[in-house]
Amino acid sequence: MRQLRGRYAAERRFRAFGFIAVALSVAFLAFLLVNMASKGLGGFTRYEASLQINFPQTDLFLDPAQLHGPDAAQTIAGADLSGAISKAATAAYGADAANIFSDAATTVVTNAIVKDPQILTGSTTLWLPVASKIDVAAKGDGEAASEKLVSEFNQKHALRRTFNSDFLEASDATDPSAVGVWGALKGSFLTIIVTILLAFPIGVLAAVYLEEFAAKNRWTDFLEVSINNLAAVPSIIFGLLGLAVFLDFMNLPRSAPLVGGLTLALMTFPVIVIAGRNAIKTVPPSIRDAALGVGASRMQVTFHHVLPLALPGILTGTIIGVARALGETAPLLMIGMRAFVAAPPGGITDPATVLPVQIFLWSDEVDRGFVEKTSAAIIVLLLFMLVMNGLAIYLRNRFERRW
Partner 1 sequence: MSLGLALVAILVVAAAAGWLGFARAARLRAASRLHSLPVYHGAYAALWAAIPALLIIAAWAPTQSQLVDRAVLASPEGRALPAEPMQRESILSEANDIASGAIQQGFNPQSSTLAPRIQEENTRFGLIGGAAAILAALVAAGLALRRSAPQFRARTGVERWVMIVLFAASLIAILTTLGILLSLMFESLRFFRLYPLHSFVFGLEWSPQTAIRADQAGSSGAFGSIPLMWGTFFIGAIIAMIVAVPLGLMSAIYLTQYAPARVRSWLKPILEILAGVPTVVYGYFAALTVAPIVRDFGLSLGITSASSESALAAGSVMGIMIIPFVSSMADDSIAAVPQSMRDGSLAMGATTSETIRKVLLPAALPGVMGGVLLAVSRAIGETMIVVMAAGLAANLTLNPFASVTTVTTQIVFLLTGEQEFDSPKTLAAFALGLSLFLITLLLNLIALHIVRRYREQYE
- The smaller minimum CB distance to partner 1, of residues 97 and 314, is found at 314
Q: How far is the CB of 265 from partner 1 (least distance, A)?
A: 9
334 binding partner 1? (CB under 8 A): yes
- The smaller minimum CB distance to partner 1, of residues 190 and 323, is found at 323
Contact 316, 395 (CB under 8 A): yes
Cα(167)–Cα(178) distance, integer angstroms: 8
343 binding partner 1? (CB under 8 A): no
In this chain, which stretch among 93-101, 140-148, 321-329, 340-348 interacts with partner 1, using CB under 8 A? 321-329
- The smaller minimum CB distance to partner 1, of residues 7 and 157, is found at 7
Residues near 27 by beta carbon (within 8 Å), at least 6 away in sequence: none
Write down the H helix ranges in 209-327.
218-230, 235-241, 257-281, 285-293, 298-300, 307-326
Q: What part of residues 72-101 is at the interface with partner 1 (CB under 8 A)?
A: none
Among 126, 181, 243, 283, binds partner 1 (CB under 8 A): 243
Cα(314)–Cα(322) distance, integer angstroms: 12
Q: What part of residues 168-207 is at the interface with partner 1 (CB under 8 A)?
A: 201-203, 205-206
Q: What part of residues 16-55 is at the interface with partner 1 (CB under 8 A)?
A: 17-22, 24-26, 28-29, 32, 35-36, 39
391 binding partner 1? (CB under 8 A): no
DSSP string, 151-185: HHHHHTT-EEEEE-THHHH----SSGGG--SHHHH
Q: How far is the CB of 333 from partner 1 (least distance, A)?
A: 6
DSSP designation for 101 = B
**Of all helices (H) and strands (E), which one includes residue 123?**
strand 123-129
Contact 176, 164 (CB under 8 A): no
- The smaller minimum CB distance to partner 1, of residues 81 and 184, is found at 184
Q: How far is the CB of 345 from partner 1 (least distance, A)?
A: 13
210 binding partner 1? (CB under 8 A): yes
DSSP string, 128-158: EEBPHHHHHHHTT---HHHHHHHHHHHHTT-
Among 56, 83, 122, 234, binds partner 1 (CB under 8 A): 234
2 binding partner 1? (CB under 8 A): no
Q: How far is the CB of 234 from partner 1 (least distance, A)?
A: 2
Dihedral sign from CA coordinates of 191, 235, 209, 223:
positive
In this chain, which stretch among 58-66, 78-86, 280-288, 371-379 interacts with partner 1, using CB under 8 A? 371-379
Closest CA to 40 of 362, 284, 332, 304: 362
- The smaller minimum CB distance to partner 1, of residues 49 and 354, is found at 354
**Of all helices (H) and strands (E), which one includes residue 126?**
strand 123-129
Among 227, 271, 291, 352, binds partner 1 (CB under 8 A): 227
Closest CA to 126 of 206, 29, 55, 33: 55
Q: How far is the CB of 160 from partner 1 (least distance, A)?
A: 29
Contact 51, 164 (CB under 8 A): no
- The smaller minimum CB distance to partner 1, of residues 109 and 247, is found at 247
Q: What part of residues 267-306 is at the interface with partner 1 (CB under 8 A)?
A: 269-270, 273, 297, 299
